[in-house]
Structure 1
Amino acid sequence: MAETTPLIRRPLFVVAVLGAAILGVGLALTAGRLVGGNDAAAAQCEMAQATLDRLRPLAKGELAAVKVPSTPQPLPPLAFDGPDGKRLTLADFEGRTVLLNLWATWCAPCRQEMPALDALQADLGGADFEVVAVNIDTRDPEKPQVWLKDAGITRLAHYRDPEAKIFQELKSAGKAFGMPTTLVVGPNGCAVAELAGPAEWHSEDAVTFIRAALGR
């Protein structure tokens, strides 16, 4: 029995060592993918630095509360439903500047700024820019559309996230603290400005700000 014990233990030891080595390689590859992905996102966002330089002196007047970060900010893969019910992410808007606004019918400041957002879309919306107002009401899916119609909001497409996950994801990323929440997202998907709270989005200050974001 004494002679057979080492013969039994040695294969188990080898298997354990090989298992640990394989696990280590797997973790290293996973970490490499994560780091590489973060590096790629950061490199992509660096391309928007010139946009920040244009926007920073324009965060004033009606947009004095807008925060322009020191560096462009990568965003999580935010998802929401389009007007046709199809699931969308910000990647679907690649190549366009987006004013991403989260709103709800129960949010009085949200309702107050919707006409201005509607007017901004009417004036500047097109192939290179869209106001993407995402409703996060979690009850009565018909209510937001009824409210938009009654309020005369006709230029904004009806985007929605009935589970309000988009708000939670932005909150986890440190970019949502209340309602409404608004981000200006560049054509490469990086945030170049953010605002917690309402603004007069069709004011001269706001139109100038968005035009600068578009490089116009």
Structure 2
Amino acid sequence: MTEKRPLGLPSAKLVAFAAVAGIVAGAAAVYVKQAGSGNGGDTADVGQCAASVEKATSLKPFTTGEVAAMVAATQPRVIGGLSFKDQGDKDLTLADFSGKTILLNLWATWCVPCREEMPALNALQKAHGNDRFQVLAINIDTGASDKPKAFLDEIGVDALGLYRDASMGVFNSMKREGLAFGLPATLLIDDKGCLLGAMNGPAAWDGKDASALIKAAVGG
């Protein structure tokens, strides 16, 4: 992990943010277990996500240190209904990334912790991005794409691409699911589209703890 982050919070401060977020995320996990997905899809998810239960459980030892706020899912389920656009304004859903383990991160230029962790997410994509893993950072600024694009260019984020949902529909869907309470919000989703874990708050994604978590999620 680099000692100096371009615009980043010191690692200790990121971890402090993450620790508080972990308490909130833990409450979210309880809510989700009790309330279900809210879209009537739980029964259909049982078969598709059956193998993901063991995977999510196996990740618990890796949700530590700088990624301690990541709460492993107790009932992995399909994360669907999330629509967004790429830089060319093409409509996409998570189905377009099937076959890959995805670290889905919601961010906005007006969110200070989001701005701080973007270089680390960029570094994670550079270190681990391939045909089996991708950091999918979705910007939810309203309006045109000029502002988020200029921000990414300014700080040298060159590996993530600009994915956007100016309607904030992705955030609202995650909020209804009990998975997002603010920004940044991050989901770890396996190659079948099943939720492995959720985090509210920033993390040092360029550190060894994050690297170990992603390696464990992707598997051999």
Per the normalisation by structure 2, the TM-score is 0.79
- SS at 1:98 equivalent: strand
Structure 1 gaps of 5+ residues are 1-33
**TM-aligned CA deviation for residue 76 of structure 1:** 3.0
Partner of 1:130: 134
CA contact (8 A) 2:57 2:72 kept: no
Taking only the aligned residue pairs, the percentage that are identical comes to 43
2:80–2:94 CA contact under 8 A, matched in 1: no
Say if 1:76 and 1:173, in contact at 8 Å, map to a contact too. Answer: no
Number of paired residues? 182
1:91-149 Cα deviation digits (max 9, x unpaired): 11111100000000000000000000000000100101110000000034200000000
Alpha-carbon distance in structure 2 between the residues aligned to 1:173 and 1:42: 17
1:83 is displaced (CA, Å) by 2.4
The CA deviation string for residues 55-106 of structure 1, in whole angstroms up to 9 with x for no partner, is: 1111110011111121213323211001221100011111110000000000
What stretches of structure 2 of length at least 5 have no aligned partner? 1-38
Moved over 2 A (4+): 37-40
Residue of structure 1 aligned with 2:174, choices 145, 152, 170? 170
- Listed one character per residue, the Cα deviations across residues 160-199 of structure 1 (whole Å, up to 9, x for unaligned) are 0011110001101111101000000111111101100000
Q: Which residue of 2 aligns with 1:143?
A: 147
Greater alpha carbon shift after TM alignment, 41-50 vs 186-195: 41-50
Shift of 1:39: 2.4
Residue 192 of structure 1 aligns to a residue whose secondary structure is strand
> 2:220 aligned with 1:209, yes or no?
no
Name the amino acid aligned to 1:166: V
Superposition map of 1:81-100 within 5 A: 81-100=85-104
SS at match of 2:49: helix
Residue of structure 2 equivalent to 1:71 = 75
Structure number with greater CO (CA < 8 Å, separation at least 6) is: 2
Aligned to 1:161: 165
Letter in 1 for 2:59: L
Give the partner amino acid of 2:149: Q
Cα contact 2:42–2:77 (8 A) shared by 1: no
Instruction: Report the more deviating stretch, 183-192 or 71-80.
Output: 71-80
Partner of 1:10: none
Report the RMSD for the aligned CA atoms in angstroms. Answer: 1.4
Q: Highest Rg: 1 or 2?
A: 1
CA distance in 1, matches of 2:62, 2:175: 25
Alignment of 1:188 with 2:192, yes or no, is yes
Query: What residue is the counterpart of 2:113 in the other structure?
Result: 109
